[in-house]
Chains A and B, each alone.
Chain A
Amino acid sequence: MEVAAGGGCGTGPPLLLSDSEQQCYSELFARCAGAASGGPGPGPPEGTRVAPGTATAAAGPVADLFRASQLPPETLHQITELCGAKRVGYFGPTQFYVALKLIAAAQSGLPVRTESIKCELPLPRFGMSKSDGEIRFGNPAELHGKKVQIPYLPTEKNSHKRMDDEDKQESQSPTMSPLASPPSSPPHYQRVSLSHGYSKLRSSTEQMHPAPYETRQPIGQPEGSSSEGPGAKPLRRQASLIRSFSVERELQDNNSNYPDEPWRITEEQREYYVNQFRSLQPDPSSFISGSVAKNFFTKSKLSIPELSYIWELSDADCDGALTLPEFCAAFHLIVARKNGYPLPEGLPPTLQPEYLQAAFPKSKWECAIFDSYSESMPANQQPCDLNRMEKTSAKDMADFPVPTQDVTTGDDKQALKSTVNEPLPKDVAEDTAANSGLLHAPPALPPRPCPTQSEPVSEADLHPQLNRAPSQAAESSPAKKDAIHAQPPSKPIRRKFRSENQTTENQEPAAAVGGAASAAMVKPHPTVQKQSSKQKKAIQTAIRKNKEANAVLARLNSELQQQLKEVHQERIALENQLEQLRPVTVL
């Protein structure tokens, strides 16, 4: 039976197709054609013969199909040339059928010639011969693999390995034609998105390619469309291979299937990004400042111009700060870049902030955030939170485990500087209850998002002092108070109370610090911070800082005093000598 449409396009030899071949080819053609132009209606193609000549198969799906046949590329090129697609510039039905026949021939081991197609050939085989189950098995494996990939060290080797594994299981996946350079990465992203089902239709359309080309009875539209839900099961994904369904979706996506794939953020990646955001900025609805983000992204070891460009792309409102969706977009771009993707010219639509916000409902973020918060407490946030814990439970800090001495010494100078530079706290402390009446004047400081290392030190230092020397507290508090107020104007005032401070400070130089630090370690859990507790913490911070400053100055003072004494003595000695010598010189 000849191909009816042969006349329409045909410059090729007349094709002789058996019934099964005819059916198979027409369905494949319909798929390819439908994928490209949305031609035939969404009805199941069961037994429908696509009216040939009304549609052409697009190069993309056809290329995938050919690759799925697992023939070497040279053979495929030959086939393409022979079938006439290159000549006419498109895959019409004739060309397509000829190509399929040639593929069958090649797979049977016959040389790729036009003569080969004249004989009886088996149906061409296209890669995906495994069952659904194996696909299912394949995907969770990649899932785990992908988890490894997400952090900043994209191990290309891993991705290659994965690629090999996946290749065995599935057909050669369609590589992103525009972004073909790293062949391992695109399937990666595809697979991840597949297994997560976030990219609903994305996953459905992509999954279509590895395993579509077997003559498969369409299962029906509803199943396909139901794969929209997140966590789509593999079965549904298979169902969604229905060309019609994919046609609709692809239409909607405006031919941006392949190029978009790496720019979609999967669930897993999203959670990771949110966690990282949380580590930089506790409030998910607020934003990260430019400098913080800069430090963070610089760790990715991309070049500065690239980071600059990524920032340009992701900071949509150009305000010098990143909100959560902007941050996720930037992070995703960095990850993509590290995986070898060239940076896009413009922000891909899937990375736009509105899109990201719409795609991921806020509640999800917050849930993820709260979950992640207890788990992942990066070091820089830990002292911050732990200190807050300290402050809130000030009264309970009677039991200090053995201290560690490392932190104190070097940080004193730092603490001094930080204290000196600190602006005087503004609002008056209303809650005197916090520190058992220690705080009268010192106003509250706004808590810093990322306190330096010295802060916990100084706070820890001051804290035990507060508790261990309650008797002296009353004395030292006025001292502190005066010290605080007098800090900018002059130093002498502090010297007045030097002896007291010195004694108190010298008593627990290192002991308190380590104790507090390790005590703090004991209480890692975050609590809800109330306004009063915030003020308490601020006040206590200020107190500790000032005390430490006092300590340093007192030490300095004592040293200078000693030097002064020595100099005095020298002077006396010299004067004596002068006296002795004078009668001589006068003469």
Chain B
Amino acid sequence: MAVCIAVIAKENYPLYIRSTPTENELKFHYMVHTSLDVVDEKISAMGKALVDQRELYLGLLYPTEDYKVYGYVTNSKVKFVMVVDSSNTALRDNEIRSMFRKLHNSYTDVMCNPFYNPGDRIQSRAFENMVTSMMIQVC
């Protein structure tokens, strides 16, 4: 379903990025990069007072003609960005939310591994499998 999934660290460098191997992967990387600005905008728009109430799921960040980009931020400012094919109209908001939740859970599991140093690239096989399952599902 998702065409590209990325996990961005708090300092805005990628911890994990993976896209379906289509013709122009770099395009997805660029889209994720530009979406970071939108994410930051959304976070700051909430204001400090609302940090607790801020929802983790940010929703549609911006649509392009081919793709839609969704965002999700954890409380530790780790961002998940997902690029979805626009033609996939069947994809509803709830599904996106559940996908992000799964991502978040897998990310937490990765964190629990004492051999994982926060800030490293994510190399966990379990995480990869989960992402693969999300990317291959329908497309």
Residues from chain B with a CB closer than 8 A to the CB of A304 are: 115
A308–B124 CB distance below 8 A: yes
17 contacts between A and B (CB under 8 A): A290-B114, A294-B114, A294-B115, A305-B123, A308-B113, A308-B115, A309-B125, A311-B113, A311-B114, A311-B115, A312-B109, A312-B113, A315-B112, A315-B113, A320-B112, A320-B113, A320-B114
Residues of B near A307 (CB, < 8 A) are 115
Residue on A nearest B124 in the bound complex, by CB: A312
In the bound complex, residues from chain A placing their C-beta under 8 Å from that of B109 are 312, 318
Among B98-121, those with CB < 8 Å from A are 108-109, 112-116
Which chain A residues (284-314) contact chain B, with CB distance < 8 Å?
290-291, 293-294, 304-305, 307-309, 311-312
In the complex, what residue of chain B is closest to A290 when comparing beta carbons? B114
Q: Does B126 contact A (CB under 8 A)?
A: yes
Chain A, range 234-255, C-beta contacts under 8 Å to B: none
Residues of B close to A305: CB separation below 8 A:
115, 123
- When C-beta atoms are compared, the residue in chain B nearest to A307 turns out to be B115
From B108, B112, B115, residue with most partner A Cβ within 10 Å: B115
Mask: chain B, 60-79; 1 = CB below 8 Å from A; 0 = not? 00000000000000000000
Nearest-neighbor residue (CB-CB) of B116 within chain A: A308
Interfacial chain B residues near A291, Cβ < 8 Å: 114
Residue count of chain B within 8 Å CB distance of chain A: 11
The dominant DSSP class at the B interface is loop
List of A residues within 8 angstroms of B115 by Cβ: 294, 304-305, 307-308, 311
Interface presence of A579 (CB below 8 A)? no
Tell me the bound Cα distance from A307 to B115 in angstroms: 7
Name B109's closest neighbour in chain A (CB-CB): A318
* In the complex, chain B residues whose CB is within 8 Å of the CB of A290: 112-114
Whether A318 contacts B112 by the Cβ 8 Å rule is yes
Residues of B within 8 A of A318 (CB): 108-109, 112
Decide yes or no whether A74 CB sits under 8 A from chain B: no
Query: Cβ of B123: which chain A residues have Cβ within 8 Å of it?
Result: 305, 308
Q: In the complex, which residue of chain B has the Cβ closest to the Cβ of A308?
A: B115
The docked-state distance in angstroms from the alpha carbon of A320 to that of B111 is 8
Q: How far is the CA of A489 from the CA of B115 in the complex (A)?
A: 38
Instruction: Quote the shortest CB–CB distance from B12 to chain A (angstroms).
Output: 24
Which residues of A are found within 8 Å of B108, using beta-carbon distances?
A: 318
A406 contacts chain B at the CB level, 8 A cutoff: no
Q: How far is the CB of A299 from chain B (nearest CB, A)?
A: 13
Instruction: Say yes or no: is A399 at the interface (Cβ < 8 Å to chain B).
Output: no
Interface: A319 (CB within 8 A): yes
CA–CA, A315 and B112, complex, Å = 9
A291 to B116, CA, bound (A): 11
Q: Top 3 nearest A-B pairs by Cβ distance? A: A290-B114, A320-B112, A308-B115
Which residues on the A side are within 8 Å of B112 (C-beta)?
Answer: 290, 315, 318-320
In the bound complex, CA of A294 to CA of B124 (Å): 16
In the bound complex, do residue B114 and residue A293 qualify as a contact, i.e. CB atoms below 8 Å apart? yes
**Closest B residue, CB atoms, query A321:** B112
**Least CB distance, A329 to chain B, in whole angstroms:** 15
- A288's nearest neighbour on chain B, judged by CB, is B114
Q: Distance (Å) between the CB of A450 and the closest chain B CB?
A: 16
Q: A290-B113, A308-B115, A309-B124 are in contact. List 13 more A-B contacts (CB 8 A).
A: A293-B114, A294-B114, A294-B115, A305-B115, A305-B123, A308-B116, A308-B123, A309-B125, A312-B109, A312-B113, A315-B113, A318-B109, A320-B114
Whole-angstrom CA separation of A291 from B113 in the bound complex: 9
**For residue B114, which residues in chain A have a CB less than 8 angstroms away from its CB?**
290-291, 293-294, 311, 320
* B 31-45 binary contact with A (CB < 8 Å = 1; else 0): 000000000000000
Q: Which residue of B lies closest to A298 (CB)?
A: B115
Q: How far is the CB of B118 from chain A (nearest CB, A)?
A: 13
CB proximity to B under 8 Å, residues A539-566: none
> In whole angstroms, how far apart are the Cα atoms of A309 and B116 in the complex?
10
Q: State the CA gap A71–B109 with chains docked (Å).
A: 51
A291, B114: Cα distance in complex, Å: 6
Closest B residue to A320 by beta carbon equals B112
In the complex, which of the residues B108, B114, B125, B126 has the most CB atoms of chain A within 10 Å of its own CB atom? B114
Chain B residues with Cβ below 8 Å from A319 are: 112
In Å, the complex CA distance between A124 and B108 comes to 60
Indicate the member of A291, A293, A309, A319 with the most B CB atoms within 10 Å.
Answer: A309
* Interface flags, A515-554, vs B, CB<8A=1, else 0: 0000000000000000000000000000000000000000
On chain B, the residues within 8 Å of A308 by CB distance are 113, 115-116, 123-124
Q: A291 to B117, alpha carbons, bound, how many Å?
A: 11
Closest to A345 in B: B125
Q: In the complex, which residue of chain A has the Cβ closest to the Cβ of B112? A: A320
| A290–B114 CA distance with the chains assembled, in angstroms | 5
Residues of B near A315 (CB, < 8 A) are 112-113
B89, chain A: closest CB distance, angstroms: 35
Minimal beta-carbon separation of A294 from chain B (angstroms):
4
A311 and B116 alpha carbons, distance in the complex (Å): 10
Complex CA–CA separation, A294 to B113 (angstroms): 9
How many angstroms between the C-alpha atoms of A61 and B109 in the bound complex?
42
Q: Which residues of A contact B126 (CB under 8 A)?
A: 312
Q: How far is the CB of A347 from chain B (nearest CB, A)?
A: 11
Q: How far is the CA of A309 from the CA of B125 in the complex (A)?
A: 7
- Could you tell me the distance in whole angstroms from the C-beta of A302 to the nearest C-beta in chain B? 10
Complex Cα distance, B115 from A563, in Å, reads 49
Q: Which residues does chain B contribute within 8 Å of A312, judged by CB atoms?
A: 109, 113, 124-126
Output the residue of A307, A312, A320 with the most chain B CB within 10 A: A312
A27 to chain B, nearest CB (A): 46
A489-512: contact bitstring with B at CB < 8 Å (1 yes, 0 no)? 000000000000000000000000
A310, chain B: closest CB distance, angstroms: 9
The CA-CA distance from A318 to B108 in the complex, in Å, is 9
Nearest Cβ on chain A to B129's Cβ, whole angstroms: 10
Min CB gap A306→B, angstroms = 9
Across the interface, name the chain A residue whose C-beta is closest to B126.
A312
Which residues of A from 407 to 446 have beta carbons under 8 Å from B?
A: none
- Could you tell me the distance between the alpha carbons of A121 and B109 in the complex, rounded to whole angstroms? 64
Report Cα–Cα, A312/B130, bound state, in Å: 14
Q: Chain A residues near B124 (CB, 8 Å)?
A: 308-309, 312
Of all chain B residues, which has the CB nearest A295?
Answer: B114
CA A309 to CA B115, docked complex, whole Å: 9
Q: How far is the CA of A513 from the CA of B126 in the complex (A)?
A: 51
